[in-house]
Every structure is written in C-alpha cells, then in structure tokens.
Chains A and B, each alone.
Chain A
C-alpha cells in the first residue's frame, strides 16, 4: 500500500467520523453560530464603511465581494486543524510510542487526520457563510469560477497551514505543551494573514511585510480568489509551492530532531 493510499484511507475515515456522531458535531455548531454572528457584524461594519467613504469599491472589492472574502477567510480559520492539543496529548500520555509504530509515517498520519477533519468542515463553513452573505446583501457575489479558484488555492494553503502548525506543535517533544507557541502563530495569522482585513487595505509598509511572509498565502491568497477568480493565480500557486518546500523542510528537520530527543529520553 503506497503512502498516498494510506493517507487517503486515514483521511476518509476521519472525514466520516466528523459526521458519525451528530451530537459531537452539534457541539461544534458553536463555530457556525460564531461564523453567522461575525458575518452579521462584518456586514454592519463594512456597510457603514462603504457608505461613510461614499464609495462602491474598497481594496478592489464591492461590499458583497468583501463579505464573501471574509466568509472565505473565516471558513478557513474555523476549520483549521488543532495539532497542538492532539500531539501534546500524545507526548504527555505516552501515546506517541504507539503512534510511531503505525505502518504510516507520523507526519503523514497527522496530515491525513487534519485533512479528513478540516475539509468537510471547510465546505460546511463556506456554504453557511456564503448563504449568510447572499441573504444579507441580496446578491450572490461568488460564482462557480470563484469557488473553484478558492478550493484550488486552498489545497496548497491547507498544506502550508498544516506544515507550519504541525512543525510548531512538534515542539511539544521538548516543551510537552506547545499551546502557547501555536496560539501566538494563530494570532499572527489573524492579522498578517488577512483574516479580518484584506491585505489590499493594509498600510503600505505592513502590506509589504505581510506579502513577504507565508501567512497571507494560507488565508488571504485563497479567499481573495472568491472576489477575483483566477486573478494572479499562477503567481499565487508558485508562491505557495516555494513556501511549501521551505515549510516541509522545516517540518522534516524538527520532526527528526524531536524523535531523536525522544530516543535520548528513553521514550
């Protein structure tokens, strides 16, 4: 069985498990309520902003496009995998010893689980978010091309996000609890990733800094495809590919160091 088929098997098992327990999934609806509430608040905020500025377009987006962009960013972040909790538990409980003996690499397993859990949730979040935007603005700001471009850009964006946060979560091998490190990174994504304000509205200096970092590729990159399907798409994919190589290398390095540290401790 090739690694890819194993990854697929684990992913689809975890994707099914997301819906296997309706009660548990109902508990997660708190995120959907938050998504609806935050979009209502954003609608109020940006509607006021467009009317105060007396303009039809801000940062190259009309109001419905801006809201669809924000639905797209929130969908990504609210469906993001929580590596720190899972890996921290593995380290603290000693469950890692069992995980390492599985016939699939620990890293590939974590990616598979994350994809299996995140992708169905992303679809649900985006559907709910788009519905709210359509109902609130009375228009459908995104067509099939926008959704296709968003999903195509999301796959490498997800791998980037997963690589970075998995690498940070692996610091649990030394710290036991990587919550603080990943929390700081998630808050950096909120600002520099363009979760709340698109990079096109950043002050110029900050926009340049954000453009250099990979965080905007994880959120802003895919979400702006909803507003401008396939615009600068090649450049976006190229940037994502380059950063993927860098973050994969970083992840592999941290994992190798971490596992050998575990051996040293007799784990």
Chain B
C-alpha cells in the first residue's frame, strides 16, 4: 500500500461506513429528521422558559441556544462519525475487538470510524443550523464557534473513551457507561450558573460537563483566554489519560473467540 493510499484509507473508511447506513435511505433521513426535531423540542422548552423568565444569572435564550449549538455539534461529530464509541464497552466485554486487532491499522481509530451513528448526524445538522439561524454568525464568531465545538468534542471523546475502557478493568461496564453518558449529556445542556457548591466542583472534575456548559458565555459571548487555555489543558490531560487507559486495557483484553466477518 503506497503512502497516498494509506492517507486515503481513513476518509474511505468513513465513506464506506456512511454508505452502509445509506443502504436504507428512507430510514436514514427519517432518523436524522427525528433527531433534529428532538433537539428542536428542547430549544422550544427553553423558549417557553425564557419567555417567562428572560434572564437567569446573566443567561438569556441566546446563550442556551449557543449551548445547544455547541453541544449538539460536538457530541454529534464524536458519536456520529465515531459510531462505535457508544458501543465500545459492550464490544470489549463480549470480546469483539479481534477483527480490528488482526488488521494492520491503528486499532482505536479503525474501531471508532468503522461505524456511523445516524441519529447523531441529526445533531451534526442541528448544531450549525442553530448557529447560522439564531446566533448572529460572523467570521470571528464562526471561528469561536469552531473552537468551542473542537474543545467540547475533545472533552466528550476523551471522557467517553475513558468511561468505556473501564470495561477492560471492571468487566461489564456497558450499563455504567450508558448511565454516566446520559448524566454527562444532561448536565452539559443546562446553563452553568445554576449549578453551585459541591455539584459545581463535580462538574469541573469527575463529570466534566462544566467546561461545556460554560462555553457559550466564556468563548462565544465574551471570550476568556484563561478559560480557553484551562479547557484546552483539561482536554489534553483527559485525552492522555484516556489513551493510557486504552493501551493498558488492551493488554488485559481477552478474545471472545467470536467468529466475525467484516462485509
């Protein structure tokens, strides 16, 4: 395989994963539409809320719309194109990594990018759409939005990877992974100033949703270089920790002797 072929492998892999889902175009587009509507219902909830209480601790409807734009884009990209991420704990527990371990490609990206999660693609459409329609896009704000999505995406990816690799050490960790994921996503979609005291500390450490739900104010509305630097440092640290856990975990991996074929 030439160098150019090796470079082209990853986009081709993603394209193949996308084509596999497009085999049923009706279901594909319906699922995406449903997710866009689902996200829209949450924005409708916030519209209802802010129509009654216009400002809560300095947050307005626009800030929550930004929160949803950033969160949906970041989580959608991570879970949409890394479609196996949300199934990783189960794949590990059931010993289904063999097929990726036996091929001459880096295991983790190969595993993650081999599947597209269609519902999450709805988030990928919803997030930028909200930014374009409601958040006064300009070149500068677009740059800040992309930065926020990149940082939020890095935190989501590292956190979820770390969570799912617990399956190497704990055995059945899929239920735990699902529950912590839903908690992380829920806390990430509510304004940061409503969380105080010990809970706030948890949201900036164990369950790092606090970094994400602070972004609309500290990156998009009035960019705070210290917050951006701290978030980037945390994302880097979490990524290193997740990669370390993955590498250590892989050494403990035991095959399920499952006969699998990749079509």
The chain A residue with its CB closest to the CB of B53 is A49
Residues of A within 8 Å of B183, CB to CB, are 33-34, 37
| A45-B34 CB under 8 A given contacts A33-B182, A190-B41, A191-B45 | no
Stretch at the interface among A155-163, A199-207, A250-258: A199-207
The chain A residue with its CB closest to the CB of B182 is A34
- The answer to whether the Cβ of A180 comes within 8 Å of any Cβ in the partner chain is yes
Chain A, range 91-136, C-beta contacts under 8 Å to B: none
Question: Please, how many angstroms separate the alpha-carbon atoms of A40 and B199 in the complex?
Answer: 10
Pair count A-B, CB < 8 A: 75
The contact of B175 among A27, A38, A45, A191, by CB within 8 Å, is A27
- The answer to whether the Cβ of A184 comes within 8 Å of any Cβ in the partner chain is yes
The reply to whether B175 and A30 contact each other, CB–CB distance below 8 Å, is yes
- The answer to whether the Cβ of A187 comes within 8 Å of any Cβ in the partner chain is yes
Least CB distance from B44 to A in Å reads 5
The reply to whether A184 and B37 contact each other, CB–CB distance below 8 Å, is yes
The reply to whether B37 and A187 contact each other, CB–CB distance below 8 Å, is yes
- Residue of A44, A45, A201, A206 contacting most chain B CB atoms (<10 Å): A44
Residues of A within 8 Å of B55, CB to CB, are 52
The reply to whether B48 and A48 contact each other, CB–CB distance below 8 Å, is no
| A191-B41 CB under 8 A given contacts A33-B183, A41-B190, A52-B56 | yes
- The answer to whether the Cβ of B30 comes within 8 Å of any Cβ in the partner chain is yes
Residues of A within 8 Å of B48, CB to CB, are 191, 196-197, 201-203, 206
Least CB distance from B49 to A in Å reads 6
The chain A residue with its CB closest to the CB of B34 is A183
The reply to whether A44 and B199 contact each other, CB–CB distance below 8 Å, is yes
Least CB distance from B174 to A in Å reads 9
Interface size on B, residues (CB 8 A): 30
Question: Please, how many angstroms separate the alpha-carbon atoms of A187 and B37 in the complex?
Answer: 8
Question: Please, how many angstroms separate the alpha-carbon atoms of A47 and B179 in the complex?
Answer: 25
- The answer to whether the Cβ of B178 comes within 8 Å of any Cβ in the partner chain is yes
The chain B residue with its CB closest to the CB of A189 is B41
Question: Please, how many angstroms separate the alpha-carbon atoms of A8 and B219 in the complex?
Answer: 58
- The answer to whether the Cβ of A261 comes within 8 Å of any Cβ in the partner chain is no
Question: Please, how many angstroms separate the alpha-carbon atoms of A52 and B182 in the complex?
Answer: 28
Residues of B within 8 Å of A27, CB to CB, are 175
The chain B residue with its CB closest to the CB of A187 is B41
The chain A residue with its CB closest to the CB of B38 is A187
The reply to whether A48 and B30 contact each other, CB–CB distance below 8 Å, is no
Residues of B within 8 Å of A201, CB to CB, are 48, 52
Residues of B within 8 Å of A249, CB to CB, are none
- The answer to whether the Cβ of A53 comes within 8 Å of any Cβ in the partner chain is yes
Residues of B within 8 Å of A183, CB to CB, are 34, 37-38
**Which residues of chain B have a CB within 8 Å of any CB of chain A?**
27, 30, 33-34, 37-38, 41, 44-45, 48-49, 51-53, 55-57, 175, 178-179, 182-183, 186-187, 190, 193-196, 199
9 example contacts (A-B, Cβ-Cβ < 8 A) are as follows A33-B183, A34-B186, A41-B187, A44-B195, A48-B193, A52-B53, A177-B27, A183-B38, A203-B48
Closest 9 CB pairs of A and B: A33-B179, A44-B194, A48-B194, A187-B41, A196-B45, A37-B183, A197-B48, A37-B186, A183-B34
**Which residues of chain A have a CB within 8 Å of any CB of chain B?**
26-27, 29-30, 33-34, 37-38, 40-41, 44-45, 47-49, 52-53, 177, 179-180, 183-184, 187, 190-191, 196-197, 201-203, 206
Excluding A52-B53, A184-B37, 9 further A-B contacts by CB distance (< 8 Å) are A41-B190, A48-B194, A52-B57, A53-B53, A180-B30, A191-B41, A191-B44, A191-B45, A203-B48
